[in-house]
Amino acid sequence: MSTLHSVARAWAAQDPDDADRAEIERLLADPSPGAYAELKDCFAGRLHFGTAGLRGALGAGPNRMNRGVVRQTTAALARWLDEHRPEARRAGVVVGSDARHRSRELADEVGAVLAGHEIRVHRLPDRRPTPLLAFAVRHIGAAAGVMITASHNPPQDNGYKLYLGDGAQIVPPVDAEIEALSERVGPLSEVRVAGPSSPLLVRVGEDVPRAYLRAVVESIPEGLVPPQPLSVVYTAMHGVAGQLFLDALSLAGHPRPSVVAAQEAPDPDFPTVASPNPEEPGALDLAFAEARRIDADLVLASDPDGDRLAAAVPDTTAPGGWRRLSGDEVGVALGAFVLDHLRAGWRPPKDGGEPPVIAASIVSSSMLGKIAAASGVPYVATLTGFKWIVRAVDAFPGSRLAFGYEEALGYVIGDAVRDKDGILAGLAFLAMAGDLRARGTSVDAHLLALMRRYGVHRTSQHSIATHDPAGWMAGLRARPPTEIAGATVIRVVDLARGAVWQEGLPALPPADVLAFWLDTGARVLVRPSGTEPKLKFYVEAVHPVRKGDLAGALESASEELDVIAAALQPALLGRPPASGA
């Protein structure tokens, strides 16, 4: 018997889930090459904490999301909490789940293991968005939080996001410490598990969602009331944010938007879209059709777990008359909106006089940093992921985060929620749009005005699927390009061991990121995806507006983006990866 078959049989013998065990046994009994390849992939390794926790395809084995992996991870978490947060038994852990396949079942497993280790569990109502979990951790005073979600991943995926008592996702070394403990959990059949009637399993009522709604509404700078209410189309993208977002709009005094009915109810199969990611082409087609039907002013969309926001505006030059704003456009516009209100004396709720900080990830546009500098507010560029963005304040002890964003449609205003929050961002975007309309202008015009002052900053993202992203990154480090698209590389920053990104601020922690600055002012960043087998490229072209020629600057920046995009693969990947794969 092969080692693979021995390992698979040993896992199946202790797998707590009948269906997963049967799946392994089916693969073991199937002599076909396809079954062997699938079995090999199921046991190719163990899911690891990435940018947003554990995430992977549902299925059997340690390389999939299932009850066995969740049991092992949660047992390790319980031990880590005993060693590092002894108050956890009293304070408890908040557990939530979205509407994906097996989400409720996996959340039940988390609760059963924690209660089996004598840790109180605060179980949120099912099918709720991720930002509610992030808020609830601090609101309840829990020691940690676990959210079962795969955000905007394909339907076959699920995941495990882990927060500590500060309401933020874990960062190194906590992730490595918990993974090391996972390896020492022992047989899954011997992990202590509580029954569903355990007094340590406590259901959280609707008071927490109500407190969350009050907190996010109070976190929005008040926009001026427009002469006429904005006509808005909203889609929940078959996810779990819809009702809470509509409740937030009502509490904030906004009229009910026109909701895309076909995408309103949670559905783990996401039947009306090829991908539930609002960044993907076609994801907003139904919303655009409804917007054309009612002649709307704005389109807003949540992703499936409600932590991201997409926004679109009318554009006669775009196919179908509507254009989705990029994450950088929304982030820069919202950041400038917050900075304007800070200058006018606005302060978020429970403000204790702490100086504000603005933040964005290093793969996001550099434009917000220039706007913050002109406002006299410190700006921090962080590693990718909101677990880093919400910790930007660590660079300025005693400060408070006023606004943070990442180009992948993630935004936060204030610190009521220490993670990206699409519901909060949607309220802020409506407040900003209303403010602009009251002043006789629009979101698009506002963005153009910012470009005239700070220069055109055009960004784009590209990805290349590969089963060996580490090999490609090693190859780039061994043989970095000296030019890209005919432009000379004048600066290279490798974050593999950490590096100073901004003068005067602490070095960023180690990360698998390479950055190349060109003599044209453009910038290219490369990193492996934290959730999928691909390399991701982030390009920014910066062109000043000379003699008021905004159209010329826009055209030249767009042309440079296109030239760089065409040159990326031959310039950076025109050689085999270091592994030779």
CB contact at 8 A, 303 and 152: yes
Report the first-to-last Cα separation within the chain, whole angstroms. 28
Q: What is the CA radius of gyration of the chain?
A: 24
Contact (CB, 8 A) for 159 and 150: yes
Give 494-540 as a DSSP string. EGGG-B--STTSPPBPP-S-EEEEETTS-EEEEEE-SSSSEEEEEEE
Tell me which H or E stretch contains 84: helix 67-84
185 by Cβ neighbours in 10 Å (0-12 / 13-18 / 19+) ranks as middle
Give me the DSSP letters along 324-344: EPPHHHHHHHHHHHHHHHHHT
| Residues facing residue 94 across a β-bridge | 122, 145
Residue 63 CA, distance from chain mean position: 22
- C-alpha distances in angstroms, 385 versus 134, 169, 406, 564? 14, 9, 7, 25
The H or E element containing residue 543 is: strand 534-543
How far, in Å, CA of 281 to CA of 307, rounded? 19
* Phi, psi values for residue 395, rounded to 5°: -75, -20
- What distance in Å separates the CA atoms of residue 177 and residue 429, rounded to the nearest whole number? 39
Stretch (H or E) spanning 462: strand 456-465
Residue 35: CB partners within 8 Å, gap ≥ 6? 26, 27
Q: What is the DSSP letter of 270?
A: -
Q: 32 catalytic, yes or no?
A: no
Q: Which of 535, 531, 524, 534 is closest to 567 using CA atoms? A: 524
The residue type at 273: V
Residue among 190, 154, 175, 163 at smallest CA distance from 46: 175
Degrees (nearest 5) of the Cα angle 324, 327, 333? 95
Selecting among 97, 103, 151, 326, the annotated active-site residue is: 151
Catalytic residues: 151
